[in-house]
Structure 1
Amino acid sequence: MLVSEALLKIKTNGYKITEKRKEILTFLSQHPQYVSGSDVIQHLKNDHPGLSYDTVYRNLALCSELGILEETEFAGEKKYQLCAESDHHHHFICLKCGETRVIKNCPIHDIPEMNDFHITGHKFEVYGYCRLCKTP
């Protein structure tokens, strides 16, 4: 998703487009991997010395709720990524560098134990090491 598309989605859902929201989304658009709220704060703190954790996390939560950001918990911390795909997908996440790759096929339908469940949502993430980070 482009930053301009994300901002339009914020506006059409009745929220204001603020400078901080633009900066947060621009920062996330420049990172192909998940980043933490702390990473966002570190990036913005020089231009916004009074910036609170609350403001950043509220904006991240709003964008996640609107489907602009994907959210995961990784290494004990919530992390965020600008949605790159509009269709249903999952991720491979490198434990060393954080590279994130899309997994297009969904394994949930191949699990026989799920046949009699009415599934309302799920998340599937694979953790490991990318080809550059794997150790012998």
Structure 2
Amino acid sequence: MNEKKAWEILKGKGYKKTDQREKILSIFAQTDRYLSAKDVLNHLSEDSPSLSFDTIYRNLSTFVGHGILDEMDFSGEKQFRMQCETDHHHHHFICLSCGEIKELSICPIPQVKESLKGYEIEQHRFEIFGKCPLCA
């Protein structure tokens, strides 16, 4: 997702464009890796020293709630990244060292459905974590 699309969503939900939201979205638009709220605070602390961790976290939660950011838990810490712009179903490999994300076009859900006969799957998420070739 790009910043323009994110603002269309936010405006459609009645949110105003603020400097803080603009700066936070800009950080995510410039990276394709997961970032923690602390990472965002560190990026913004020089330009916005009065910006609080709570304000950042509240905005991140808003962005997740409206499908702008994707949220994942890495070792007990929530991390965020812009939602993918692709409109096709896919999953990811995520490097635990450098944060590189590689799109995977395969999906294991047909095999999972086969082993869960009679169960109704409403949604799923499949991510693989490890080290990329450069970090391995």
Match of 2:119 in 1: 117
CA distance in 2, matches of 1:41, 1:116: 46
> In structure 2, what residue type is equivalent to 1:17?
K
> In structure 2, what residue type is equivalent to 1:104?
S
CA distance in 1, matches of 2:71, 2:104: 16
> In structure 2, what residue type is equivalent to 1:125?
E
TM-score by length of 1: 0.91
Label 1:54 to 1:86 Cα distance change in 2 as closer, same or farther (>3 A).
farther
Match of 2:132 in 1: 130
Label 1:67 to 1:56 Cα distance change in 2 as closer, same or farther (>3 A).
same
> In structure 2, what residue type is equivalent to 1:28?
F
With 81-90 and 9-18 compared, the bigger mean Cα shift is at 81-90
Instruction: Quote the sequence identity (%).
Output: 43
Match of 2:105 in 1: 104
Q: What do residues 18-45 of structure 1 show as CA deviations (whole Å, max 9, x unaligned)? A: 1111111110111111111100000111
Matches within 5 A, 1:61-100: 61-84=61-84, 85-100=86-101
Using the TM superposition, give the Cα deviation of residue 127 of structure 1 relative to its aligned residue in structure 2, in angstroms.
0.5
Structure 1: segments with no counterpart, 5+ residues = none
Q: Tell me how large the CA RMSD over aligned residues is.
A: 1.4
CA distance in 2, matches of 1:41, 1:114: 43
Using the TM superposition, give the Cα deviation of residue 109 of structure 1 relative to its aligned residue in structure 2, in angstroms.
2.2
Label 1:31 to 1:65 Cα distance change in 2 as closer, same or farther (>3 A).
same
CA distance in 2, matches of 1:133, 1:64: 29
Q: What do residues 89-129 of structure 1 show as CA deviations (whole Å, max 9, x unaligned)? A: 32111011010112233212222223321112222110111
Match of 1:21 in 2: 21
> In structure 2, what residue type is equivalent to 1:49?
P
